[in-house]
């Protein structure tokens, strides 16, 4: 720094150490707090404020299961359903990034073995090859679109797999097609991106299920009831 300091008249002067000056001063007595500009006198809210969209279906299935997963944050077991979830996650990543080879998907494996990687690649390939999914295999789409939106005083957040011009789409790798189990999730996606239609692509069974506008309106009535129960802290 010397070439800049010397022209500025800042001399390289040593400062001798002083034990007295090295002692920090006492902070003293702080000033009393002033009266706040606003006061909130309502009872303290008890309940959850922000949740993933999947919490709706979990609550509808079993409020106690909802409590374990989203209130108590129980991690669950590492067998059975956890393996299926891992394959589903890898399948979504393969579709998001257009991966068609095991090696290109391996960096996202998180401990998955080759059998799981191969199954994920095969399931992703089903979307591109099965005739059932042709209506939603359009070129102009957006992938992995995240959102946050307030419903009935609770903030729902998530990410939809595909957003098209007039629809949203979610991939599923379930062994059995069960649209009712995912209806709240698709409703939230459609409302978040203001689309009149929502699809579920069941990659394992080759089923494409559509929720039309009137279906989404009916789902919303039930979703609002569930959200009110969540907001009240009812488990």
Q: Is the pLDDT of residue 215 over 90?
A: yes
- Pick from 100-114, 121-135, 188-202: least confident: 100-114
C-alpha count within 13 angstroms, C-beta hemisphere, residue 198: 27
pTM of the model: 0.73
Looking at residue 163, its pLDDT comes to: 96
Whose tokens are 């979504």? That residue is 92
Q: How far apart are CA 125 and CA 119, in angstroms?
A: 10
Looking at residue 167, its pLDDT comes to: 96
Cα-based distances in Å from 134 to 53, 128, 169, 196: 27, 8, 13, 19
Q: Could you tell me the pLDDT band of residue 135, with boundaries at 50, 70 and 90?
A: very high
DSSP per-residue letters across 133-184: GGGG--SS-EEEEEEEEEETTEEEEEEEEEE-SSEEEEEE--SS--GGGGHH
Q: How far apart are CA 80 and CA 77, in angstroms?
A: 8
Q: Is the pLDDT of residue 92 over 90?
A: yes
Pairing of strands 50-52, 207-211: unpaired
Looking at residue 15, its pLDDT comes to: 82
């Amino acid at each position: 720094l010397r070439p800049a300091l010397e022209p500025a008249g800042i001399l390289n002067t040593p400062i001798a150490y002083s034990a007295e000056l090295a002692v920090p001063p006492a902070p003293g007595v702080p000033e009393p707090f002033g009266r706040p500009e606003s006061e909130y006198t309502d009872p303290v809210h008890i309940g959850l404020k922000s949740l993933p969209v999947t919490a709706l279906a979990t609550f509808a299935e079993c409020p106690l299961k909802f409590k374990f997963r989203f209130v108590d944050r129980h991690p669950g077991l590492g067998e059975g359903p956890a393996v299926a979830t891992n394959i589903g996650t890898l399948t979504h990543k393969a579709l998001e990034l257009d991966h068609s080879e095991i090696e290109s998907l391996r960096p996202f494996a998180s401990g998955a073995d080759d059998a799981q990687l191969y199954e994920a690649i095969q399931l992703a390939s089903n979307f591109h090859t099965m005739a059932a999914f042709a209506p939603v295999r359009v070129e102009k789409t957006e992938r992995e679109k995240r959102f946050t939106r307030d419903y009935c005083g609770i903030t729902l957040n998530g990410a939809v797999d595909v957003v098209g011009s007039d629809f949203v789409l979610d991939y599923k790798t379930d062994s059995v097609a069960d649209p009712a189990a995912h209806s709240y999730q698709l409703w939230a996606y459609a409302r978040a991106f203001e689309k009149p239609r929502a699809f579920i692509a069941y990659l394992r069974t080759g089923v494409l299920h559509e929720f039309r506008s009137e279906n989404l309106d009916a789902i919303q009535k039930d979703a609002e009831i569930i959200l009110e129960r969540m907001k009240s802290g009812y488990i």
